[in-house]
Structure 1
Amino acid sequence: MALQQQKTLHEKNSETKLSFVPLITKKDTDVLTEDAIVFLATLVSRFTDRISSLLIERETRQACFDSGSLLDFLPETEDIRSTAWTIRGIPHDLQDRRLEITGPPDRKMVINALNANVNVFMADFEDSFSPVWKSILEGHRNLTDAINRTIAFEDIATGKQYQLNDDTAVLMCRVRGLHLKEKHVLLNGIPIPAVLFDFGLYFFRNYKALLENGSGPYFYLPKLQAHQESAWWNDVFNFAEDYFDLPRGTIKATVLIETLPAVFEMEEILFHLKDHVVAMNCGRWDYIFSYIKTFRNHSDRVLPDRQVITMEKPFLNAYSRLLIQTCHRRGAMAMGGMAAFIPSKDSVKNAWVLDKIQQDKSLEVKNGHDGTWVAHPGLADTAKNVFDLVLGDRKNQLDILREQDAPITATELLAPCKGDCTEKGMRHNIRVAVKYIEAWISGNGCVPIYGLMEDAATAEISRASIWQWIRHQKSLSNGKIVTADFFRTCLAEEMLVLRKELGSDVFNSGKYHQASSIMEKLTTGDELADFLTLSGYEFLE
């Protein structure tokens, strides 16, 4: 349906009228144009109800897991897994994705990431982003300026000028998950789904310029848990393409397989998105968090210290290999996971970081992944070289089908993870989570902490792991039992450590007391909260 027809339909139907809190200012109208709002209203009115149903189904499934059930491949979709089909295809500019970088869509980051020695930049409105309203609008403004090649930035402190190189990475946009609301945009007084705001605004503002540039509207889809959710996304994509008379398959998506339920439905997720999907990604940090959340009531599946849960662990290696096998069989690419390390100014420590990157990426490329992620441009060369050595002139490893592998079973994917639970690891998790929550409620979703680039996913592991240890009265390596009172004692002591680390001025001027309170509630509650960002969102403007 043409835009004018949609606009007329919208004007006749007051039920699709959006309201904004705060009210749109003249400055905002370059992003929130009248036609953009019409498109958003149409999307929201058409697709919101199904999100509610999908979220209820998540709760229903989790109740089964809480009662002792385990996951397995779905018998009712065996025909999808056993028949021959492939995805529609992969655009030319997405066929070589050997290295990708991710980060929030702030202006300097966008320029640096697009200029980095990488193939793709994923601009992230989700895990590395704190959705303050002005930051959301500025993020969309920045991405449009980058697509139009009008973006520039001057660092006031240093006077350094930033602008795009002639040759830049391909741009992709990661939207927020189905569970999040956008409280600043209301339909009939109710906050709309953040996912529809992010997708609708980015697509509406940029699809023409992206196509004219020889690229397209490319998205990363986070935190899917079931194939019904991918079917919902397929309908959203189809609707958006039809709205602007675009060919089917114009929109392309990479699905993050970062929940435990989703790994058992990868074939089905690809099938329902086959006109639009081009790849799947091992979202390893969220996947570990999802393992904890899914099995929160299972005392035999308590995970050890976060630091020892590496991709060599059997349940994670099986996940990586199954994703590769599934994707390549269907013609989709299989992306590796995030290296959260950041460079160190200390030469010895930096050598250790580079060695860790080398080991991690060597395992991924050996398994058959087509590419991988880094969080910092300073690690791009090291990670890219690992893939360059194996790929050579090839663009990807779609030819690696792993057909000789023994079938990967549910038992392998759900295997308990061996390793120690230590007081040192617990105290480290406390400091990481508190520092991250403080940054997030202060408007920063991507934070360097103790040599790692922490985002919401890694902070989720830190707090959920402690909740699980308390829930099952875990015995630590030193014999101490993790109880709520022991955690509270540790939290109070670690807050003193943070005050000393940061200095009293920084500590007192920050939001560390609020962060500590959020952490305490999240970690000692009777139920494991689904996402810490839901608790933190009320603190954001």
Structure 2
Amino acid sequence: MEIKNIRIRSNLAEVYADIYTPEVLELLSSLAHHNAPIKELMAERLRLRAERQALGARIHFLDETGYIPGTHIKIQDARDGNFEGSEIPPDLRRQWIQGTGPAAKPGVPLEKSIRNVAYALLSGADGWMFDGEDALGQIQTMSLDNQRNLKLAIGGAPIFTQVAKKVAEEMNQWSLGFLGCGIVEDWEAQLGFTTKIFRPRGLHLDDRHVCHTDGSGMAASIVDLTLYVVNNYKKLQENGSSIVLYLPKIQTAREAALWNELISDLENNLQLSLGTIKVYVLVEQLEATFQLMEIRAVLGKHFVGFNTGRWDYINSVSDAMAWDNDFINPNIDNITMTYGYMANYEDRVRRAVNTPDVNGNFALWQGGMEPNIPVGSVDGVATSMAKAIAGAEREQRAGASGKWVAHWKMVNIVRPVWGKIQAENQLGWDFPPLTYTDEDAKGLTQLAAAPITIRGARDLLSVALQYGNAFGQGMQAAALKPADFFGNDDVLYLMEDMATGEIRVSILWEWVHKGAQLTEDDDQSSVKAGAIFSPDLFLKLLDDEYGKLLNADDKDVYASSKQTTLPISREIVEAYVLSSTKFPWFIDLFNINIDNTNLEIAKKRIALFMEAFEADGTRITHNLDA
């Protein structure tokens, strides 16, 4: 279907007429002019990345005497808080726990798929970030199923309320056994408790179903933003709810300004006052940490807070430092929020949100992800839950107004940490103002002594392979653990999304191409401390871990995947890690293989992508099947 300057592939406009409404199509067409600036900015992002890699240049702070690129805002004004930000709306003032996850499941009927939304809204979470990005599968039409489920749930459709009633009974049955009490007293009232939040895809991704009439790709950010807001803003406002987004993968204030232009344009088209749509920014990129106040300033009345997500941020630091042979991350388990550069990153975020704007408004700080799921042996669950609570207590003491959890069962385990202090939030803590020195810059890439081991490599490889396999089946959020712990209920499964896959292969790339030295002997082989993590060692471990997955039972690796998506995952992991070129996004190699289960086709697509990027930095982001 074509309408003015956009095209929707095959018959999806008819099949999803409830999502591609006339109003949505009109707004998509109206906002399509933002696509060219997005593409230009993404090309500039890659150009600067390549320049830094070639010159061995570090990211630096902006010149305080200048203006934020693409705006008329002075950089010093932004840093001083001399801009008008947003008051925190009532339904965002208390966000002790925000859950995260998609609103749809792959390959199941609507009644089963929409259960995801019911679990979220009955969980007792103060907010739920329904994901359109890292945790949402993209096979078939999952991005549209996600939007449909949200529209049905927010609109209170009978099919959703019927499902929610049944889900509430199941949740209470679990909580009576685990917590000793029910967690849903009045399921109908509970559905209105949780603030609905949506995460669109980042500026660097294209939509699979919408493109320009000339065939060029359409930024997924435009599509996701338009579909979610236009389909739900009236009902949200009728219910007294804010329209709230989480903006991902922003690297610079200029990119944030582009988001601001896009959102403001949408508000204007819908005759909403400026600042009606509220946004959190996920601080997932190293460069963003150099421009936190600038990002706040350009988003102005839209901005309500930052989130310190762990996994994407580690990956961005690894990618930004790919040129530096002395920068080598350790085992992933050691890169906690108190590790070297992570502690400095968190400290800058909390200082930025506690800097008042011109009206004295502060911003929210939402802490990072808790990936645990309370399923396993009694001892295993007890140990993991103690660590989860300790992590939440540390963030609360540091000044966070709340944190994320990746599974609804964790909400009532972690939420009491903030319940004990009772304060709605922790706005306005007294921290020193941000400074912009060379020492500050060095701290954002500061390493710390930590092990690099064969055990760590096996864990990186096993989860990366499993994650790629899950992605190919439409599960971009999956409960995983290293294969050596299959069948061991003392080691819990953790919820993983694309970000955890990204960082695992980035660390492996570092170890292979920078000649990482192992810090400990391996008891299971002849590899000794001081040995270099060579390509040959990587390939041997890859064979080992892949073999374990082939021999795993259906609980951990579906038999049907072993001849389809698992071999493709292996091919992508091997190609990414061994390539002398460090590719910026692991997800690119999976996106070009969505709905493909043929290994030979996958090999051709991987080669096509690598050749294009190595030739001139071109990322293939459009749907190769369209």
Fold agreement, TM-score > 0.5: yes
Q: Distance in 2 between matches of 1:382 and 1:388?
A: 11
**Contact 1:102 / 1:373 at 8 angstroms: preserved in 2?**
yes
Matches within 5 A, 1:313-462: 313-330=339-356, 331-390=362-421, 392=422, 394-403=423-432, 409-450=440-481, 451-462=493-504
* Match for residue 124 of structure 2 among 97, 105, 117: 117
Distance 1:406 1:268, change over 3 A: closer
Question: In the TM superposition, what is the alpha-carbon distance from 1:154 to its structure 2 partner?
Answer: 5.2
CA 1:344/1:149 → structure 2, altered by over 3 Å: closer, same or farther?
same
Contact 2:201 2:248 in 1 (8 A): yes
Label 1:433 to 1:414 Cα distance change in 2 as closer, same or farther (>3 A): same
Residue aligning to 1:147: 154
1:116 partner amino acid: S
Cα pair distance change 1:109/1:81, threshold 3 Å: same
Give the counterpart letter for 2:57 in structure 1.
S
Q: Alpha-carbon deviation of 1:443?
A: 0.9
- Are 2:540 and 1:489 equivalent residues in the alignment? yes
Q: Tell me which residue corresponds to 2:208.
A: 183
Q: 1:103 aligns with which of 82, 101, 104?
A: 101
Choose the corresponding residue for 1:199, options 209, 218, 225: 225
Q: Using a 3 Å threshold, how does the CA distance of structure 1 residues 252 and 329 change in structure 2: closer, same or farther?
A: same
1:534 matches 2:588: yes
* Match 1:474 to one of 516, 528, 537: 516
The question of 1:172 aligning with 2:197 is answered yes
Distance 1:403 1:33 in 2: 50
Could you list the runs of 4 or more consecutive aligned residues of structure 1 that deviate by over 6 angstroms after TM superposition?
157-163, 404-408
Distance in 1 between the 2:434 and 2:59 partners? 21
Q: Distance in 2 between matches of 1:83 and 1:154?
A: 47
Structure 2 vs 1, CA of residues 205 and 133 (structure 1 numbering), >3 Å: closer, same or farther? farther
| 1:58-137 aligned within 5 A | 58-66=45-53, 67-75=55-63, 76=66, 77-106=75-104, 107-137=114-144
Aligned-pair CA distance for 1:138: 1.1
| 8 A contact 1:111–1:164 mirrored in 2 | no
Distance 2:221 2:167 in 1: 37
Distance in 2 (alpha carbons) for counterparts of 1:213 and 1:510: 45
1:3 maps to none
- For structure 1, which segment, 373-382 or 230-239, has the greater mean C-alpha deviation from structure 2 after superposition? 373-382
User: SS at the partner of 1:179?
Assistant: coil
Report what 1:39 is aligned to. 27
SS in 1 for 2:415: helix
- Alpha-carbon contact 1:437-1:536 (below 8 Å) kept: yes
Contact 1:255 1:281 in 2 (8 A): yes
* Contact 2:91-2:195 within 8 A present in 1 as well: yes
- Comparing both structures, which one devotes a greater share of its residues to helix? 1
**Farther-moved stretch of structure 1 (395-404 vs 78-87):** 78-87
Q: State the alpha-carbon separation in 2 of the partners of residues 405 and 295 from structure 1.
A: 23
Distance 1:56 1:282 in 2: 26
Change (3 A) 1:297 1:404: closer
Aligned in 2, Cα 1:62/1:435: closer, same or farther, shift over 3 Å?
Answer: same
The answer to whether the 8 A contact 2:260-2:298 is kept is yes
- CA gap of 1:490–1:154, structure 2 versus 1, over 3 A, is same
The Cα shift of 1:502 comes to: 2.9
For 1:173, what is the secondary structure of its paired residue?
Answer: strand
Q: Is the 8 A contact 1:434 1:519 kept in 2?
A: yes
Structure 1 contact 80–268 (Cα < 8 Å) conserved: yes
**Maintained 8 Å contact 2:91/2:242:** no
Q: How has the CA–CA distance of structure 1 residues 279 and 21 changed in structure 2, closer, same or farther, with 3 Å as cutoff?
A: same
1:404 positional shift: 8.2
Q: Pick which of 505-514 and 398-407 moved more.
A: 398-407
Q: Distance in 1 between matches of 2:407 and 2:389?
A: 15
Q: 1:419 to 1:254 in 2, by over 3 A?
A: same
Q: 1:508 to 1:160 in 2, by over 3 A?
A: farther
Partner amino acid for 2:583? Answer: A
Cα drift, residue 319 of structure 1: 1.3
Partners of 2:136 and 2:539 in 1: CA distance: 28
| 1:34, distance to aligned residue in structure 2 (A) | 2.5
Give the whole-Å Cα distance in 2 for the aligned partners of 1:183 and 1:164: 36
Give, in whole Å, the separation in 2 of the partners of 1:434 and 1:146. Answer: 34
User: 8 Å contact 1:338–1:375 — kept in the other structure?
Assistant: yes
Instruction: Kindly provide the CA deviation profile for residues 9-44 of structure 1, in whole angstroms up to 9, marking residues without a partner as x.
Output: xxxxx9943222222263311111222112112112
* Structure 1 residues 485 and 103: CA distance shift in structure 2, 3 A: same
Identity of aligned residues (%): 27
Q: What is the CA RMSD across the aligned residues, in angstroms?
A: 2.3
**Could you give the per-residue CA deviations for residues 335-359 of structure 1, whole angstroms, max 9, x where no partner exists?**
1000111112311010111111122
Q: Any conservation in 1 of the 2:354–2:428 contact (CA below 8 Å)? A: yes
CA distance in 1, matches of 2:15, 2:36: 32
Contact 1:338–1:373, Cα closer than 8 Å, also in 2: yes
Match of 1:210 in 2: 236
The answer to whether the Cα contact below 8 Å between 2:81 and 2:355 also exists between their aligned partners in 1 is no
For residues 16 and 268 of structure 1, the distance between their equivalents in structure 2, rounded to whole angstroms, comes to 36
1:119, 1:169 within 8 Å by CA — same for their partners in 2? yes
- The reply on whether 1:17 has 2:68 as its aligned counterpart is no
Tell me the CA shift for residue 86 of structure 1. 4.7
Q: Distance in 1 between matches of 2:35 and 2:202?
A: 13
TM-fit CA distance, 1:334: 0.9
Distance in 2, matches of 1:50 and 1:505, equals 45
Say whether the 8 Å CA contact 1:253–1:277 is kept in structure 2: yes
What SS class does the counterpart of residue 171 from structure 1 fall into?
A: strand
| Aligned counterparts of 1:324 and 1:194: Cα–Cα separation in 2 | 30
Letter in 1 for 2:539: R
Which residue of structure 2 lines up, in the alignment, with residue 517 of structure 1?
Answer: 571
State the number of aligned residues. Answer: 525
TM-score normalized by structure 2?
0.80
User: 1:153 offset after TM fit, Å?
Assistant: 6.3
Alignment map for 1:209-248 (pairs within 5 Å) = 209-248=235-274
Relative to structure 2, which stretch is displaced further, 502-511 or 35-44? Answer: 502-511
Q: Deviations over 1:292-326 (max 9, x none)?
A: 01101112221100011111113212211211111
- TM-score, normalisation: structure 1: 0.92
Which deviates more from structure 2 when the two are superposed, residues 84-93 or residues 307-316? 84-93
Contact residue 133 and residue 184 of structure 1 kept, 8 A: no
* Runs (5+) with no aligned partner, structure 1: 1-13
Return the letter of the residue paired with 2:16: D
